[in-house]
Chains A and B, each alone.
Chain A
Amino acid sequence: MKLTLTSLCIALALFPLHKAHASAPATLLDMPLESLMDMQVTTASRFAQKASQAPSAVSIVTAEDIRTHGWQSLAEILGSLRGLYLSDDHNYTYVGVRGFSPPGDYNNRILLLINGHRVNDSVYDQALVAHEFQIDTALIERVEFVPGPGSALYGSNALFGVINVITRQGADLQGYELAGGLGSHGERQRRATLGHKQEDGTDLLMSISQVRGDGQDWTFPGSGTASGVDGEQSDRFFASLEKGAWNLNVSYVNRKKQVPTGAYGTDFNDPANATTDGMGFVDLQYRAAANEKLEWSARLYYDQSWFTGTYVYSGVHNRDEAEGARWGGEWQAVSTQFDRHHLVFGLSYREDFTQDQRNFDVAPYASYLDSAHSARKYGLYLQDEWALTSALTASLGVRQDHHSRAGDFLSPRLALLWQAGENTMLKAIYGTAYRAPNVYEMYYTTADALPNPDLQPEEITTYELIAEHLDPRGIRLSAGLFQYRICDLITQKSEAGMLIFRNEPHAQANGLDLEAERLWSNGRRARVSYTLENTEDGSGNRLVNAPRHLFKALFSTPLFDTRLRLGTELLAFSQRRSLSGGHTAGFGIVNMNLAAERLLPGLEISLAIRNLLDKPYAVPAGSEQSVDALPQTGRSLRLNLAYRF
């Protein structure tokens, strides 16, 4: 479907913004403090906006960080975080956590949420993180990454971490914004946003954005050069409406990407090789307080997702299709009724009523797969943050899930938090999580892929020790030790030329995290992190696509009396093992962004350069590729303009 800006323009015309209201609150400012103190207050809801009430070493990225570093996709944001690494197969971008990013893993071990709403799809459990993600980075208020197993609160998929993307509100904009961008490889972006908050608290944000890109030419050893077959187009719409206790989110994305790599043995350099991924949801939330110490919220949602892949084999178009649809509801209560206890209790129900997959040749017609499935899931969870003493808090969480296909799961999580000194916090965490195999892993079959309906769920057990210290000079230090053990890891294998998913008995990751961050009062900021990840399978072999060392340094500073802001990042990774048993070399890339927010009133200009030094580098390829390593993007520039009025 073609998405244009016309619809938004019509909306803007129909919906004039009223900025000036003269009513009671104006006089509040003129009242003396004594009188104000006698006024009766309507309490605002105090629902925590945190991704997880459970303690962890949470990483937070704010809208300001995004502007400072010029990040244009969720993937670029995640790539800057401690311990995470990216791989791009020129179709999707994959996020590696704790040394896990095996081939065939469509980010399905990370739970991705938008304002608390699950967006991993119903067929692949896939978390889409680049231009196929639903939210334009300009609409992000903050991103919270909670590493570690999150099943005790969130159920399936939260194996390695939970990412919650919180969107901006109308009040943050209070007007209109038109934005456009041009970049290397024919990249064009445009966006129109309206934001408005009314006197009575009603808040509306609505945005439409488009990305178009021609991509670049890629040379793959043995295959040749793929030229003009790397195009991308992405259309997005997002809206949120908050009125009183109600909150409505509507989101839509449709993204088409040509696949230049000749994956799955398709005809190389044929422009028809492409995939289309789309998703949309409507989510309605209601929040209320029964009394001062008991608050609850309820959520009702409907999601739809679609995928079409076209693969050309000797001129014959093979079509791969998937369709997912689900609805669900959640109810959660937060109680502080009992002294020293902060209790969270919740129920959730989800019905994936469509989990369909088809694979067929268009002409001459031949069908290889036509499967329809559905699943029901319900869960029940309880978490208690219990202040044992003024310095010691225990966090106990447990969730019971029932999955109509995979069975029952109990996911406990225990943590101890010790305020060891005025500025020092120690945490010890034991966590568990699970992931039920998805319908793609169980039932997908074509001329070169086999199903495996006997796949078992994979389960993870983790132990973590974390120390955090805040130095009075404005320096934050953190160190963590972790051990992750996975049983029955679902892994894509190539057996006699056929792709199939199998349970690997064991895999394990041990490692440590170190991070230091400093914030200067003149606005300068630096964050440096190092992660050691040692990831092995049951026989002691290093996992594929798992760098042992990760180093990141981010620095930003205001320039010319804060008129300009410079953000730089250095991301460096050691070598990764590839499927053939070889290695892709370690590499370091530098990204830089220069942003001017106040050169002219309402105008924001930024210039971002990714891979500034044009470092050539490659990452291990999956078994569907004809090559062992995939080259990644070299130096690329992007110029962005945004005008607010």
Chain B
Amino acid sequence: MRKLSKRFDICLSGNKAPENCDIRYRQFYWLMVFDEAGELRGACKLGEQLSVVIKQGFDVPNGFVELVEQSMRSKSSVQELQRNYIKSGGSLASYETLCAKVQEVHGVGQMAVSTFLEESRSKVEDPVLTGARSLWMEADACSHQVINHAAFSRVRNRLVEFIGEHPKHPFTRRLLEPLVDSLKYSFDVEAKCRAYVDAWADRSDSGIHDELIAALSKRSSAWCEIALKELGELEGHSYQRLRLLAQIGDADGVLKALEATKSFGVMRPFHEEWRREAKAKATGNK
């Protein structure tokens, strides 16, 4: 570390991540390496990658140095690839290279890359496509990061809005997949999808959304069928059972299961939402 400090400035950041470096799993130890221009070259879960280099014959201190060197040997920084994206007018190749870099740095800063794409819309050839890519990136970050009620809610709203606004864009249909995925912690998935479908149908009377409406309805029905099947195989009270009951919109089942369940951390806002929506549905059904 002392030797390394002659070449690199080193910071123990505690539990504060650097700006634009959103982190997927905050309970792990992370290493982030920045070049002279302050751009992110590499990032990894330290323990996991140290194990890899130790298996290659390094001891812990030299293994750590090797990880830093590997990052510095990386061809480009995240920011450089972002600049290339704009320079190329938002080409597919530059987008794929950027995505590969996000994977290489284990998703560190993925939300920031999504924001970058959203803000780049006016600087590229196909602003709608770049907006869709931004959403895709954000949805992917949500589904891999620690479960976050606000993040799911935000991406879901953005997806619904985007799809409603750009029904004919070739990329739009692909966004149905992250939309359904963003509903995995929602109460009554089918009802929510019906509401989206109604909202899209209201936007135009030319049937422009018909294909998307049919595709989403099909997906949400399939999703609920799977949930019902899984439910049949589960016994007793469990978080998984509660979540499936919520997905299929079984109001009484959810309210009963919530009484027997202790909510913790990240699930608390979801449970509150399910309780509220289940009560509303149960009252409405009477």
Q: Do A and B bind each other?
A: no
Instruction: Give the A-binding residues of B (Cβ under 8 A).
Output: none
